[in-house]
Amino acid sequence: MTNGEDRLQLTLLGELRLQRSAEDLPLPASRKTRALLAFLALNPKAHRRDSLCELLWGDTDDPRAALRWSLSKLRALLGAALTTDRDSVALHRDRLATDLDTCRELLGASRPESHDHLRQLEARLDSGYLPGIDCASSAGFELWLESERASLRRLHGELLKRLQELARDDPARAIHYARKRVGIEPLDPAANLALLTVVLQHEGQQQARQAFELARQRLRQAQLDDAALLRGWRELTAVLPAAARAATPVADHNATDNRASAQPQGKPSLAVLGFTELGGDGKSILGLGLTADLISRLSRVGGLFVIARASSTRFAGEPYDFPEIASLLGVRYLIHGTIQCQGRRVRVNVELVDGCLGRDIWVESFERARDDLFLLQDELASAIVA
């Protein structure tokens, strides 16, 4: 076991981040090298070099050389935590702590002092599940990444469930976490019933009825059985009629913690729904990348509250209207747009929508060469903030 002060800390919830003694270490610029780090950390065992080559570098002329290059970059950061021989590669987990392990440990504990830590860990997921390590040319890795993101989404749901339970004496915060959970699990009857319970208790039967109808509509549109939801709703309205009639409006939460409510006091809240490529199948690597990068850039703006990519982009192409999406995500503003590609030129049309009113408040078009996409992303973020 290494000295605790020198132990490496790897952030896997949200943006990938590596620290030693609370000091950030610069991650390699190579996307595949960062992807390799995440893969090794999430699969703590020895991996054959051939398997890693096939996973990430199957499309290259010399995959073993590419793997060696990436390992050299990681070795400079990880030191003794990374072990290699001629045939295999592994990370020593006793030399590397992760926030994912910490989160799972805290979920299994009931210590009051863990509550703030859980809120901090949940807030990290607002930037998405393992963002920035997509490798479109590596089909095997993308399948693994999809599975890991689904696992993190389930963990996020468990985390929000626990936070809602811990906020039983804080109605505004409890409702916020319940709505956020429905945002990532919109078809889960248990998540919807948890939301209906707190809304019925604290906002009244009319608001709860609206939330119930929206949940039922989503299940029907997905051609899923709504019997469990209907049964739960009937049980709720049977045992809580007095509480529902006596419910008083929930006061605005004085957000000393900017992560505490869906729309913190004084902070505009928004969600980026995504960009659809015209003339294609609607989904493209360019659109996904632009969406992820825009969310990442906007999340760094101190005056904004930005919903996680995993929560917001799930509504792309679905038959929801803007007020419904804004209500489910707990935000005021929505951003969506289209992409048109012609040769080496890219045109991006973007709309900023007032989700409460369901109408555009700003529309703009940007046209750039493909090589200037990073500049375009900066312009988009600056224009939206302005």
Q: Are 87 and 138 in contact (CB under 8 A)?
A: no
Q: 89 is written with which tokens? A: 């590669």
pTM recorded for the entire structure:
0.64
Give the CATH number of domain 269-385; options: 3.40.50.11030, 3.40.50.300, 3.90.180.10, 3.40.50.10610: 3.40.50.10610
Q: Which fold has domain 4-98?
A: Arc Repressor Mutant, subunit A (1.10.10)
* Angle at CA of residue 127, ends 283 and 255, nearest 5°: 135
pLDDT at 153 over 70: yes
Q: How confident is the model at residue 328 (pLDDT cuts 50, 70, 90)?
A: confident
Residue 78 CB neighbour total at 10 angstroms: 23
Q: What is the rounded CA–CA span in Å between residue 362 and residue 322?
A: 15
pLDDT value, residue 195: 96
pLDDT value, residue 287: 77
Q: How confident is the model at residue 355 (pLDDT cuts 50, 70, 90)?
A: confident
Predicted confidence (pLDDT) per residue in 97-146, tens digit? 999 999 999 988 766 667 889 999 999 998 899 999 999 889 999 999 99
Of 347, 357, 297, nearest to 322 by C-alpha is 357
Predicted confidence (pLDDT) per residue in 280-327, tens digit? 655 567 777 778 878 877 877 777 788 877 777 777 666 567 888 887
| In the chain, where the domains are located | 4-98, 102-246, 269-385
Identify the residue with better confidence: 233 or 297: 233
Going by CATH, does the domain composed of 102-246 fall within 3.20.20?
A: no
Q: Are 47 and 83 in contact (CB under 8 A)?
A: no
